[in-house]
Amino acid sequence: MQLIDGKSLAHKVQENVAKEVEELKQVKNIVPGLAVLLIGDDPASHAYVNMKAKACERVGFYSITHNMPDTISQDEIIATIEMMNANPRIDGILVQLPLPKHIDTDRILEVIDPKKDVDGFHAYNVGRLVTGLDSFVACTPLGVMKMFEEYDIDLQGKDVCVVGASNIVGKPMASLLLNANATVTITHIFTKDLKAHTSQADIVVVGVGVPGLIKEDMVKEGAIVIDIGINRIEDGSLVGDVDFKNVAPKCSYITPVPGGVGPMTIAMLLSNTLKSAKQRA
């Protein structure tokens, strides 16, 4: 069993981004810029946005966070996004989800200029991903693909079971795997017999937010398990969607939680923002 070390890979990605940022500054006098909209006072969202801001600082990006109260109107949010769409210093626009219930998330995401949609959530970029065209791809699934690449895991012809069908993780993950010529099964909360699908798969990718959902008898010997879930349990510790202690010995590769997929999400956000800045150049 080999652990897939997302922390060290994310560090490597960030080092490469920092080098390219320095070159972009020297040659084109361009500093990549990322703008984040943070609405409300959800502690997890604030912690995540702070991590993003620190990462931007480390690689030499210009970054700005628009803190807004959860009472803000939808029109005010749209006006702020349109202002950033028009700002030539901003290469990436990120709306931290989830949004307050009175805000139409789909409408907000559609307002973002697809060329600045570094989260890969705009329908334009999703459509390009599905059809195999170059696009901005959601950062977490993109991070998983980077892990496969780093560990020389060939996806062609592999049976992959994706557990979870969200727009942010499951669906883009399935599209990326299909584009890499894997055979993909997507399962979700209404799947009748989850074990029947996961136990046949060469690779299981899970991200649903249910601690310990994937048990030892649900994966076959030698499987590769990618755990995207991150859950804080009663004792305060962080765990994934996989019963790691019992599942890991059966695996050829597995991601830990924490230290697996999580760090790759921010690394890919930086990579996407750099990609947008280079298009400006």
Q: How far is CA 24 from the centre of its chain?
A: 25
Is 158 a residue of the active site? Answer: no
Q: Is 164 annotated as contributing to ligand binding? A: yes
Tokens of 201: 């798969």
Rg (CA), the chain: 19
Indicate which residue of 5, 14, 91, 96 is catalytic: 96
Edge-to-edge strands of the sheet including 92-95?
62-68, 33-39, 92-95
Is 52 a residue of the active site? Answer: yes
Tokens of 105: 């998330």
* Bridge partners of residue 2, in order along the sequence: 253
Measuring CA to CA, which residue among 101, 94, 82, 105 is closest to residue 33?
Answer: 94
Q: Is 236 annotated as contributing to ligand binding? A: no
Q: Is 165 annotated as contributing to ligand binding? A: yes
Query: Which residues make Cβ contacts (< 8 Å) with residue 169, sequence separation at least 6?
Result: 138, 140, 141, 207, 228
Q: Is 166 annotated as contributing to ligand binding? A: yes
Is 192 a residue of the active site? Answer: no
Instruction: Measure the CA–CA gap between 191 and 178, rounded to whole angstroms.
Output: 20
Indicate which residue of 5, 14, 52, 146 is catalytic: 52
Indicate which residue of 5, 117, 119, 241 is catalytic: 119
Q: Is 230 annotated as contributing to ligand binding? A: yes
Q: What is the DSSP letter of 218?
A: G
Binding-site entries for NADP(+): 164-166, 189, 230
**Would you list which residues are annotated within the binding site?**
164-166, 189, 230
| Catalytic residue positions, numbered | 52, 96, 119
